[in-house]
Amino acid sequence: MARWDLHRRDALRLIGAGVGMFALGSRTGFAATPVGFQLSWLPSVQFGGSYIAKDKGFWSSEGLDVSLASGGPNAPVEPPVVSGQALMGISAADYTAAAVAEGAPFKIIAVAMQKNPFAIASLATNPVRTPKDLEGKKIGMATANTPVLQALCTINDVDIAKITIVPTQYDAAPLVNGEVDCLLCWLTDLPIAMTVKGIDNVTMLLADFGYDVHSQTYIVLEESLASKRDDVVKLLRGEIKGWDEYKKNTDAAAELTMSMFPDAGLDLETQKIQAKEQLKLMFSPLTDEFGFGWFTDETVEANVKTLALLGRTVTPELWDRSILEEIYKDGTAL
């Protein structure tokens, strides 16, 4: 997954160990432009659309020879983009805001996850369905994510003092064993792991209760929007085509991921379930109308407000929709 959760990062450290950058040659005979694209985490179907774009030649048909670089606990997204090793990277609004505060000249040009993946997972026998249900409960989580819980409580008028935070590793075991009543996690990992093992669980997506932080966002240097604009357009257009294909057949995306990374420690059933679950996060009425990756002034304003609760002061100028507007100028069918 991505780098948002410190314990999650530790738990997945060994998955896909040794998998770094892979590059497939252009399928065409002409000299394609080499371009780097930095992903945010270890290989999984989380990046299925990018893998499809590579496999189906969506980028080579644009004249690009794209190298996809996998991320991981020791491979942050921002440095390769700043250095120029990668033209584009996948990050999140809170991480980009922190980098910009330190002087990095980034722009968010598209948003893959329309809903933030953070969720509260609980057992069906003791469900947490609304933020108010958290009062009186023990929640297992990385203490580094306390600002996330505080923001959720502030937005929903919940007294965080009535919630017991139990520091836990990124694992479902404390919940299954009864040590805690719920877990703060990503919708697409621990709940799926429990489902695969036959453990009936309930998830409450934070984004459904006002936690608006764009996730799996596409970032480029501000200067690249001028000096390398054509390549940025081509790179993002190929990526969009990949995700449009992903939506048509999520099982195929999972199977492609497994074939591309046979030694990454992935499980096909888990990847297939994750691929389907991601549809809830990455596609919406907004993307149906305007296209994959779209964002509006209203969604940006909601992000600005939530980021302020997380201690990140940003302005709407962090987001730039001009590349999407250029790609979709003739409609969403690319």
Tell me the per-residue pLDDT of 214-233, one tens digit each, with 9 for 90 and over.
999 999 999 999 999 999 99
In contact, 206 and 218? CB cutoff 8 Å: no
Query: Are 36 and 85 within one domain?
Result: yes
Query: Are 94 and 230 within one domain?
Result: yes
Check which CATH number belongs to the domain holding 200 and give it. Answer: 3.40.190.10
Reported as a single tens digit per residue, the pLDDT across 176-202 is 999 999 999 999 999 999 999 999 999
> pLDDT above 90 covers what percent of the chain?
89
Collapsing DSSP to helix, strand or coil, 33 comes out as strand
Q: Check residue 218 and give its pLDDT.
A: 98
Q: What average pLDDT is seen over the chain?
A: 92
The domain total for the chain is 2
Kindly indicate the confidence band of residue 6, based on its pLDDT and cuts at 50, 70 and 90.
very low
The yes-or-no verdict on residue 259 having pLDDT over 50 is yes
The yes-or-no verdict on residue 9 having pLDDT over 90 is no
Could you say which of 209, 225, 255 is where a domain stops? 209
Query: What domain range is 108 assigned to?
Result: 6-114+213-327
User: Is 332 part of any domain?
Assistant: no
Q: Check residue 72 and give its pLDDT.
A: 86
Alpha carbons 252 and 249: distance in angstroms, whole number:
5
Q: In the chain, what is the straight-line distance between the N-terminal and C-terminal CA atoms, in Å?
A: 28
Query: Are 16 and 82 within one domain?
Result: yes
Query: Are 190 and 219 within one domain?
Result: no
Query: Are 190 and 134 within one domain?
Result: yes
Alpha carbons 152 and 126: distance in angstroms, whole number:
20
Could you say which of 162, 189, 209 is where a domain stops? 209
User: pTM, whole model, 2 decimals?
Assistant: 0.89
Query: Are 285 and 259 within one domain?
Result: yes
CA angle 283, 285, 287 (to 5 degrees): 50
User: Is 31 part of any domain?
Assistant: yes
Alpha carbons 236 and 103: distance in angstroms, whole number:
24
Alpha carbons 264 and 71: distance in angstroms, whole number:
13
Instruction: Let me know if 209 is exposed, middle or buried by CB neighbors in 10 A (0-12, 13-18, 19+).
Output: middle
Q: Check residue 29 and give its pLDDT.
A: 53
The yes-or-no verdict on residue 28 having pLDDT over 50 is no
- β pairing state of 201-205 and 182-186: unpaired
Kindly indicate the confidence band of residue 75, based on its pLDDT and cuts at 50, 70 and 90.
confident
Kindly indicate the confidence band of residue 30, based on its pLDDT and cuts at 50, 70 and 90.
low
Alpha carbons 179 and 174: distance in angstroms, whole number:
5
Alpha carbons 40 and 90: distance in angstroms, whole number:
5
Q: Check residue 61 and give its pLDDT.
A: 97
Q: Check residue 74 and give its pLDDT.
A: 84
The yes-or-no verdict on residue 20 having pLDDT over 70 is no
Q: Check residue 151 and give its pLDDT.
A: 98
